[in-house]
Copies of this chain bind each other. A is one copy, B any other.
Amino acid sequence: MAQTPDPAPGASSRITISVDAMGGDLGPAAIVAGIEKSAEKNPDIYFLVFGPKDALTPEVAKTRLGDRCEIRDVTEVVTMDAKPSHVMRNGKGTSMWAAVDAVKAGEAQAVVSCGNTGALMAISMLRLRKLPGVDRPAIACLWPSRNPGGFNVMLDVGADIRADEKDLLQYALMGGSYARNGLGLKKPRIGLLNVGTEEHKGRPEIKNAHDLIATAAPDGEFEFVGFVEGGDIPSSRVDVIVTDGFAGNIALKTGEGTAALIREFLQDAFQATYLSRFAALLALNSLKRLSKRIDPRRVNGGVFLGLNGTVVKSHGSADATGVSSAIKLAFRLAESRFTERLAARVASAPVARQDAGQENTAKAGHSEQAE
């Protein structure tokens, strides 16, 4: 984190995070508790919280948030099974919509929601709009790794849409920018997820993306390590893993599921005998450290990349610790003025100019934007 850039000189250090208090599995109580946790750790952070006043006022009253947290009364809620297309047409009165709009209006520098991922992406695209030059926004997650910083970045992990080679190239550019700004890496190493590391393997769009990313690397302030496999996601071979939303989502949930299974097996092992229970007591501190290293709540927060504004999607099942991690991530990105830096990166990327050349007739307006 040492290289995370300081806020622009003269800028106020006060950051306001907009929070959608509804849509989490544990209800608004867990979300307000997460807000309080973050506020305790960080004196520069303020909150706008969106949801039904009746439900939120008693929760906030239990805390010591005081005037650092303002409740905005919104009665409707986006349900977990709502279709994104429905929410785009009818979601205006929901807490999710209002929380995103606070970023659009400049009242907050980032928004955090535990709600329906598809709906959050749809509302964010509608209200914040894509950055010039971005065709398809992506969701990036952090992954515990063997690297010194402790985390790798993977994107896209959120969507069920298919990515073509140009989308994958944009993911590489956006993921590289995120790693520079969010993880403080000067020249992140980027890998493209595939079913083998040999260059003849994989689907055509992945092979084409390989060549596009390799070509963009010299000007892109990143190193391209080529194809990586599922086993490389937590490795120190790579900092950023690029893939389409389908494979990324499956990898993410498989990794979480595997970690949860091993945690259970470990608990079983230590409860098997009196001797092992005693051993667990002796090793308590070491086991706590281990547990923290693989605690999925610590890496909670998928960041939407490619929008005019910072949106962090927390796990639906996040408790106070998880919500607090997502807020911390949103704060760090807001503080580093990440969106502005990412916009500059995408706009100056060779792909934008290349697109303009290739698709001059088809989307002239789009390619002008990309310049």
CB distance from A275 to the nearest CB of B (A): 5
- A81 nearest CB neighbor, chain B only: B198
CB distance from A242 to the nearest CB of B (A): 13
CB distance from A316 to the nearest CB of B (A): 11
Residues on B with C-beta less than 8 A from A232 are 257
Residues on B with C-beta less than 8 A from A359 are none
A286 & B270 in contact (Cβ 8 Å cutoff): yes
A253 within 8 A of B: yes
B285 & A273 in contact (Cβ 8 Å cutoff): yes
Cα distance, A259 to B257, chains bound together (Å): 10
Residues on B with C-beta less than 8 A from A279 are 279-283, 286
Residues on B with C-beta less than 8 A from A289 are 269, 272
Binds B, one of A46-54, A129-137, A200-208, A336-344: A200-208
CB distance from A332 to the nearest CB of B (A): 24
Residues on B with C-beta less than 8 A from A273 are 285-286
Residues on B with C-beta less than 8 A from A83 are 200
Cα distance, A159 to B254, chains bound together (Å): 18
A262 & B160 in contact (Cβ 8 Å cutoff): no
A250 & B195 in contact (Cβ 8 Å cutoff): yes
Q: Given known contacts A282-B282, A290-B265, is B234 in contact with A257 (CB within 8 Å)? A: yes
Cα distance, A352 to B202, chains bound together (Å): 29
Within 8 A of B (CB), among A205-255: 229-235, 243, 245-247, 249-255
Q: Given known contacts A196-B160, A246-B247, A253-B231, is B260 in contact with A286 (CB within 8 Å)? A: no
Residues on B with C-beta less than 8 A from A276 are 282-283, 285-286
CB contact between A230 and one of B198, B252, B294 (< 8 Å): that residue: B252
CB distance from A118 to the nearest CB of B (A): 8
A269 & B254 in contact (Cβ 8 Å cutoff): no
CB distance from A215 to the nearest CB of B (A): 23
Contact surface of A with B, Cβ cutoff 8 Å: 81, 83, 118, 144-146, 159-160, 162, 193-196, 198, 200-203, 229-235, 243, 245-247, 249-262, 264-266, 268-270, 272-273, 275-276, 278-283, 285-287, 289-290, 293-294
